Amino acid sequence: MPLPHRVVIAVFPDVDLLDVTGPAEVFALANREAAGRTSYQVRLAGPAGGEVRTSAGVRLLADLAFEEVDGQVDTLLVPGAVEMTDKGPLARIDTNVVAWVKETARHARRVASVCVGAHVLAAAGLLDGRTATTHWSTAAQLAADHPAVTVDPDPIFVRTDRGRLWTGAGISACLDLTLALVAEDLGEDTALAVARQLVMYLKRQGGQSQFSVPLSRPASARRDIDELRLWIADHLDEDLSMDMLAARMCLSERHLARVFKQETGTSPAAYVEAARVEVARRLLESTDSPLDHVAAATGLGSTETLHRAFKRQLATTPAAYRRRFRTQTA
């Protein structure tokens, strides 16, 4: 029987619980789906072994102390911890954890960070000269603390150094990153089978945004603008021209444009286009519908308009996007 992939997940006081248990669950389901093929052996390693209290108050039991981790590590997974300050969440860096990660990474085939664990990898010097992502709320901190790292706060995960280094976005994105690791090791069919077991709507690929269009804009101070945004999302295949939206709001076009930009940071037309492109992305990822059907279903009207919108929003073409992100069913 092939040797299992040895996965070591770092745990330490106040570590984010899902950053640890999410990947562990994905690997466990991959073992089930692999049915006797090369599988995963997951071990938790902590500063002193034994009990570790997470940020959620739930206690984990480390299998090993840091000093007991020896031999070849296939995948070193590094989660993170944050502390809340007056200015928002701040990634917490433990110098002992950083030192251990730096040393252990030398003997690991692959190193991945989950959420703000990217700050630990950066502090260990592993991300210098590379592009990395992290939870959007601490991306500015990562960029400021580590100018040698190119920080991209948008993707679900980033794979670099010929697949040896991975950084993942926040919280539930740990599932997407771990599924990608499984796909690399055991194939897309196994990863998709695990995604179905997790009842995930879609196995998202690296490079995709952490945000949907509604989530990427803060809530408005005006309830009527928020209601309009929700209505737009439910009627993307209908007429959403400026005069129609203004009539719905009982406002002049000029006044609607002003208050919408004031509340959302963008114009109504740009918001509608971004929302339509987001739905078009989902269709390209999950169906083989022709481009003209995708354009019609999302209200973009024609293939030409679909192309122009993708160029503006994503700097790529619909066909290129589909080739990269199409999720094949098993």
Domain boundaries, the chain: 5-197, 223-325
- Reading the block at residue 182, the tokens are 């499984």
pLDDT of residue 17: 96
* CA dist., res. 207 & res. 157, Å (int): 6
Q: What is the phi-psi region of residue 10: left when phi exceeds 0, alpha when psi lies from -120 to 50, beta otherwise? A: beta
The answer to whether the CB of 203 falls within 8 A of the CB of 327 is: yes
* CA dist., res. 170 & res. 271, Å (int): 24
pLDDT of residue 223: 84
The answer to whether the CB of 318 falls within 8 A of the CB of 294 is: yes
Q: Percentage helix, strand, coil, to 5, in the chain?
A: 45, 15, 35
Average pLDDT, the chain: 88
pLDDT of residue 271: 92
| Model confidence pLDDT, tens digit, residues 94-144 | 999 999 999 999 999 999 999 999 999 999 999 999 999 999 899 999 999
Helix (H) or strand (E) holding 309, with range, is helix 303-314
Q: How confident is the model at residue 39 (pLDDT cuts 50, 70, 90)?
A: confident
pLDDT of residue 217: 53
- Reading the block at residue 274, the tokens are 């971004």
Q: Which CATH architecture describes the domain 223-325?
A: Orthogonal Bundle (1.10)
- Reading the block at residue 258, the tokens are 């002003």
**15 vs 10, 97, 160, CA distance in Å?**
9, 11, 25
pLDDT of residue 330: 33
Q: Which fold has domain 5-197?
A: Rossmann fold (3.40.50)
Residue 58, classed as helix, strand or coil, is coil
| Model confidence pLDDT, tens digit, residues 256-294 | 999 999 988 889 999 999 999 988 988 887 788 999 999
pLDDT of residue 296: 94
* CA dist., res. 122 & res. 130, Å (int): 10
Catalytic residue among 8, 115, 182, 275: 115
Q: What is the number of alpha carbons within 13 Å of residue 271 lying toward its C-beta?
A: 28
| Model confidence pLDDT, tens digit, residues 47-66 | 998 999 999 999 999 999 99
Concerning whether 115 is annotated as a catalytic residue, the answer is yes
